């Protein structure tokens, strides 16, 4: 990520000169030894796949999924299958570069690590001296951001020492994560993804599993072989929607209304789990009154779906045991997404009202699917 320092911009950028090409031609992991080395994918993904690297003369030659790993089972996603090629790419970011021309022209010159660190430290110091330490706002994206990468481990210590603003480091999935924790007490609560194979009804809500979570799709296919139906709720006809038994395409941003409408049908069928609600929940009566404000006819006007489809799915949710629900993170990424926790509260009440086995993937830690 670029870091602004006193009007300059310091970035780490790859130079495509002959010396760089020569360095890339050198072994990536020099040292003696042949064989296979086990490792794990560093990307921000709940699958946390295990892989095996074939090494000869210290050079990694091949990468494959670990067939002995119970979830990976020898298969890697498209992002990771060509990881070795990615690591050798001439577009890799290898050195700190300082911008020398107007912003947007891509004019940089290489500087040393010492100079880059000194400039960054000076920029942080200037910001603190001029505006106070809380003018520094730590923010990161997603990708490779585990404990080894430092942002969620040692990185916190740096910001604490500086006295920087305290905030959640990323806005990626925090709304849904907060909502799950607000409703269930902890945003790491969820179902084991491998238990999807026992489901008789699978609901994929805003989740393009076939393209982005193919290990879970394997469990879904196992469930389908034993008679389960697969329903995809997605405004777009994704690969997953096309491969499902039934696709509902609501207007984007109307998921909460759809969930309330489905719950209305569950209540109309008298299928809510009264014992669970009385023993394990707080605020049910107020929520029940809210649900009754969303009959299928009103929800149909909001979502653009036929009222008959809402009633049909609601009845299936009320009657089918067990049901597995996989919720994607896109539900909170729209106007009003900052209140995504209210939407996740709606979805998370489904198990209580219908005895449904449910899972959500609102967090990037993977724990909600572990």
Residue 170: name the closest of 58, 13, 329 by CA. Answer: 329
Distance CA 244, CA 367 (A): 26
Distance of CA 361 to the CA centre of its chain: 7
Distances (CA, A) of 78 to 22, 65, 85, 312, 356: 28, 12, 12, 36, 33
pLDDT at 23 (0 to 100): 38
pLDDT at 93 (0 to 100): 84
Percent of residues in the chain assigned helix, strand, coil, to nearest 5: 45, 15, 40
Does 174-369 match 18-88 at the fold level?
A: no
> Strands 108-110 and 201-205: what pairing?
unpaired
DSSP symbol at 368: G
Region 174-369: CATH code = 3.40.228.10
**Is the four-CA dihedral 19, 23, 24, 26 of positive or negative sign?**
positive
Surface-to-core class of residue 1, CB atoms within 10 Å of its CB (0-12 exposed, 13-18 middle, 19+ buried) = exposed
Residue 255: name the closest of 309, 304, 209, 292 by CA. Answer: 304
pLDDT at 80 (0 to 100): 87
Strands, sheet with 323-327, edge to edge from the N-terminal-most edge strand? 246-248, 229-233, 201-205, 323-327, 359-360
Here the tokens at position 101 are 């021309």
pLDDT at 154 (0 to 100): 63
pLDDT at 9 (0 to 100): 43
pLDDT at 220 (0 to 100): 94
**Residue-by-residue pLDDT tens, the chain, 370 positions:** 333 333 444 444 433 444 433 333 343 444 445 799 999 888 777 788 899 999 998 889 999 999 999 889 899 988 888 889 988 898 888 999 999 999 999 899 999 999 999 999 999 999 999 999 999 988 776 666 555 555 666 677 888 999 999 877 666 667 777 777 777 777 676 778 888 899 999 999 989 998 888 889 999 999 999 999 999 999 999 999 999 999 999 999 888 899 899 999 999 999 888 888 888 888 899 999 999 999 999 999 999 999 999 999 999 999 998 888 888 877 777 665 545 445 556 666 666 666 665 544 333 333 333 2
Distance CA 294, CA 297 (A): 8
Distance CA 310, CA 258 (A): 8
In CATH terms, the superfamily for domain 18-88 is ADC-like domains (2.20.25.90)
Here the tokens at position 231 are 């329903």
pTM: 0.77
Domain boundary assignment for the chain: 18-88, 132-170, 174-369
């Amino acid at each position: 990520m670029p870091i602004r320092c006193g009007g300059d911009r310091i970035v780490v950028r790859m130079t495509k000169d002959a010396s760089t090409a020569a360095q890339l031609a050198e072994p990536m992991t020099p040292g003696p030894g042949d064989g296979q080395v086990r490792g794990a994918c560093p990307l921000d993904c709940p699958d946390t796949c295990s892989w095996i690297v074939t090494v000869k003369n210290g050079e990694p030659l091949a990468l494959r999924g670990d067939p002995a790993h119970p979830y990976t089972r020898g298969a890697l996603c498209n992002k990771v299958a060509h990881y070795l090629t990615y690591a050798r790419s001439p577009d890799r970011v290898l050195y700190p570069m300082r911008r020398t021309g107007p912003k947007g022209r891509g004019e940089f010159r290489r500087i040393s690590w010492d100079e880059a660190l000194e400039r960054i430290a000076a920029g942080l110091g200037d910001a603190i001296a001029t505006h106070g330490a809380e003018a520094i706002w730590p923010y990161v994206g997603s990708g490779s951001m585990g404990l080894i990468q430092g942002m969620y481990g040692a990185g916190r210590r740096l910001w604490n020492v500086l006295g920087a603003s305290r905030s959640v480091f990323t806005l990626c999935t925090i709304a849904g994560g907060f909502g799950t924790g607000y409703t269930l007490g902890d945003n790491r609560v969820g179902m084991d993804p491998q238990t999807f194979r026992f489901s008789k009804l699978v609901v994929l809500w805003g989740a393009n599993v076939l393209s982005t979570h193919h290990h879970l799709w394997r469990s879904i296919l196992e469930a389908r072989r034993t008679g389960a139906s697969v329903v995809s709720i997605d405004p777009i006809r994704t690969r997953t929607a096309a491969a499902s038994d039934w696709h509902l395409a609501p207007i984007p941003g109307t998921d909460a209304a759809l969930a309330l409408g489905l719950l209305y049908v569950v209540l109309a069928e008298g299928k809510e789990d009264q014992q669970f609600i009385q023993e394990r929940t707080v605020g049910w009566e107020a929520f029940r009154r809210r649900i009754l404000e969303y009959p299928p006819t009103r929800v149909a006007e909001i979502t653009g779906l036929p009222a008959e489809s809402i009633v049909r799915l609601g009845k299936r949710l009320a009657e089918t045991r067990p049901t597995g629900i996989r919720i994607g993170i896109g539900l909170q990424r729209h106007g009003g997404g900052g209140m995504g926790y209210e939407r996740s509260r709606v979805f998370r009440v489904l198990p209580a009202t219908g005895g449904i086995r449910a899972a959500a993937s609102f967090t990037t830690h993977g724990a909600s699917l572990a």
